[in-house]
A and B are shown apart, each in its own frame.
Chain A
Amino acid sequence: MIAVKNLYKNFGKTNVLKAVSTTVEKGEKVVIIGPSGGGKSTLLRCMNLLETPTYGEVWVEDKLLTPVDPYLHPEIIRLSSTYKRMTEGGATDEEVIAEIKKNDLLRRFEGRDYASAIRTYQKQNTLDVNLARRKIGMVFQHFNLFNNKTVLDNLTLAPITLKLKSKAEAEEQAYALLKRIGLEDKAKVYPSTLSGGQKQRIAIVRALAMKPDYMLFDEPTSALDPEMVGEVLSLIKELAASGMTMVIVTHEMGFAREVASRVLFMADGVITEEGAPEELFENPKTERLKDFFSKVL
């Protein structure tokens, strides 16, 4: 499971994500749709910490990837000097916590108890981001194959560098993966000689070479010529059918409907609407989503 809790992301003064929370359970295929600039990529990139959230937490299974966000932990708020000062004034616990959350009252220094509680919580729950990323594959709009490496080296670099496999094992696996997508003959060529569709399929199996538990796709077909979209989508569908947990940002509505177990509609940095694909596509509730569908369908 990947859980994002109360995620905020600001780029300077622009609030790109505003209090986004969602949990991607094992086996789910979550598809994120929405107008461009709505924060879809940012949310996806927060899930493997390619973007650092401004507030909020990202959890993978029972491990925390981000710093502790004290606003999510009343027991930590209660140790702050701000809380202590406010309760001395006679207000109830509930009132004070609500007030602190609402007005962002926690300061950098809130006394020793508070600091040590945060440190302890962090120590007990944090997972190194590099370890987490091994389990979360990512596929980019522009493929991002390593330009200075052959296709084979693209597939073996991470397993070998991270000492998960010997060179021979990694290469054996790489050939098996290339065979699966019918590109064994491309093992020794450099990415620049490949078509967009081939690059993207190789980028997908490069991620699979790490044997991930989750796959994140950020508009995997948006940079492709139309005739190559099909081959990439069918590989992703195949992967979905094999039980992989995935989060996919896409503008391919037919594909979204087909592959999704849950659809999130993101606009202006919030999840405006979510639900099963049939429900969302047949009966959009918000004006925003109806308007979006009228433009893309």
Chain B
Amino acid sequence: MFEDLGKILTSSEYMGYIWQGFGTTLLVTLIAVLIGLVLGFIVAIIKIAALNSKWMKIPAFICSIYTTVIRGTPVALQLFLMVFSILAFPGFKPVAAILTFGINSGAYVSENIRAGIMSVDKGQMEAGRSLGIPWTYTMVKIIFPQAIKNVVPAIGNEMISLLKETSIIGWVGSTVGTLTFDLNAASGIIALGLGGAYLAPSIIVGCFYLVVVYAMVLLIKLVEGRLRKSDRR
């Protein structure tokens, strides 16, 4: 095993795969997180707005179909469905894959945001409304700031899950040099090169994941601490 580790670490070809895969993992996660945040925020707002406005009832119903289906089926299934069926256009594979992770993440993010908003005492909204402040203003000025400290840690954890979930992106075909060649795919190609020895490449790739996840955990703690300090209760 140590021999294999040495081989990988000294081979510019193998390390090249790993760095390239690492880049893919980070990039795919980042784009998916952004899509997920935007989508999740919109969906959460629509669902919350439906409590106030009857015009939002139908959009909110569509949104709950979305969150139910996405959270009720495996992400691997969603990935294959998107890449090989719904968005099976030539050369579109990486885009379809990244979109899948974004859409998947959006469902979870929306539930985190919605739960955070619902956790704020409903007397806060009533107080705002009783003063004649419109629903939207009360939401933005009173409810969101109180919801955020519940939402940030939950979304942080969702991002960590997402980073790890992207490790299946290579399952739809991991050609070197494309945006579906991630860390896990790099591990696979190196293992083949070593005659099927998965242990050493898995350890190295595992360390990359661990370091990133640990950095994210620290970052979440930091932000959480900040929010708690400014938590004026």
| A interface residues with partner B (beta carbon < 8 Å) | 48, 50, 130-134, 136-138, 140, 142, 144-150, 157-158, 161-162, 190-192, 203, 206-207, 210
> Could you tell me which residues of chain B, from 107 to 134, have a CB within 8 Å of some CB in chain A?
121, 123-124, 126-134
Other A-B pairs, 4, CB within 8 Å; known A133-B132, A144-B127:
A133-B130, A147-B124, A147-B146, A162-B132
Selected from B128, B131, B132, B232, the residue in CB contact (under 8 A) with A190 is B232
Q: Which residue of A lies closest to B135 (CB)?
A: A130
10 nearest A-B pairs in the assembled complex, by CB-CB distance: A144-B127, A134-B132, A190-B232, A144-B123, A138-B130, A158-B131, A133-B132, A192-B233, A148-B145, A130-B132
From known contacts A144-B126, A146-B142, A148-B145, infer whether A207 and B131 are also in contact, taking CB-CB under 8 Å: yes
From known contacts A48-B130, A50-B129, A161-B137, infer whether A146 and B124 are also in contact, taking CB-CB under 8 Å: yes
> Could you tell me which residues of chain B, from 129 to 162, have a CB within 8 Å of some CB in chain A?
129-134, 137, 141-142, 145-146
CB of A158 within 8 A of CB of B133, answer: yes
Contacts of A148 in B (CB 8 A): 142, 145-146, 232
> Could you tell me which residues of chain B, from 39 to 96, have a CB within 8 Å of some CB in chain A?
none
Interface residues on B, range: 10 to 19
CB of B130 within 8 A of CB of A157, answer: no
From known contacts A146-B142, A161-B141, infer whether A140 and B132 are also in contact, taking CB-CB under 8 Å: no
| Min CB gap B132→A, angstroms | 4
Q: Which residue of A lies closest to B233 (CB)?
A: A192
From known contacts A146-B142, A148-B232, infer whether A133 and B123 are also in contact, taking CB-CB under 8 Å: no
| Min CB gap A42→B, angstroms | 13
Selected from B131, B137, B146, B232, the residue in CB contact (under 8 A) with A206 is B131
Bound state CA distance, A120 and B229, in angstroms? Answer: 54
Contacts of A210 in B (CB 8 A): 131-132
CB of B142 within 8 A of CB of A130, answer: no
Bound state CA distance, A138 and B145, in angstroms? Answer: 23
| Min CB gap A133→B, angstroms | 4
**5 A/B residue pairs, CB under 8 Å, sorted by A:** A131-B132, A138-B126, A147-B124, A210-B131, A210-B132
CB of A133 within 8 A of CB of B129, answer: yes
| Min CB gap A158→B, angstroms | 4
Q: Which residue of B lies closest to A154 (CB)?
A: B127
Selected from A132, A140, A190, A192, the residue in CB contact (under 8 A) with B127 is A140
Bound state CA distance, A158 and B232, in angstroms? Answer: 20
Bound state CA distance, A157 and B132, in angstroms? Answer: 11
Contacts of A132 in B (CB 8 A): 132
CB of A137 within 8 A of CB of B130, answer: yes
Which of B131, B133, B232 gathers the greatest number of chain A CB atoms within 10 Å?
B131
Contacts of A48 in B (CB 8 A): 130
Q: Which residue of A lies closest to B130 (CB)?
A: A138
| Min CB gap B125→A, angstroms | 9
Contacts of B233 in A (CB 8 A): 147, 190-192
| Min CB gap B154→A, angstroms | 19
Contacts of B142 in A (CB 8 A): 146, 148-149
CB of B141 within 8 A of CB of A158, answer: no
Bound state CA distance, A50 and B233, in angstroms? Answer: 26
Bound state CA distance, A140 and B123, in angstroms? Answer: 8
Q: Which residue of B lies closest to A135 (CB)?
A: B132
Contacts of A161 in B (CB 8 A): 133, 137, 141
Contacts of A140 in B (CB 8 A): 123, 126-127, 130
Bound state CA distance, A148 and B123, in angstroms? Answer: 13
Which of A149, A157, A162 gathers the greatest number of chain B CB atoms within 10 Å?
A157
Which of A148, A157, A206 gathers the greatest number of chain B CB atoms within 10 Å?
A148
Bound state CA distance, A145 and B127, in angstroms? Answer: 7
Contacts of B124 in A (CB 8 A): 144, 146-147
Contacts of B232 in A (CB 8 A): 147-148, 150, 190, 192
Q: Which residue of B lies closest to A203 (CB)?
A: B127
CB of B123 within 8 A of CB of A134, answer: no
Which of A136, A146, A206 gathers the greatest number of chain B CB atoms within 10 Å?
A146
Q: Which residue of A lies closest to B137 (CB)?
A: A161
Contacts of B127 in A (CB 8 A): 138, 140, 144-146, 203
| Min CB gap A131→B, angstroms | 7
| Min CB gap B76→A, angstroms | 41
| Min CB gap A139→B, angstroms | 9
Bound state CA distance, A48 and B131, in angstroms? Answer: 10
Bound state CA distance, A147 and B127, in angstroms? Answer: 11
Contacts of A133 in B (CB 8 A): 129-132
Bound state CA distance, A172 and B37, in angstroms? Answer: 41
Bound state CA distance, A100 and B183, in angstroms? Answer: 74
Contacts of B130 in A (CB 8 A): 48, 50, 133, 136-138, 140, 207
Which of B126, B132, B141, B145 gathers the greatest number of chain A CB atoms within 10 Å?
B132
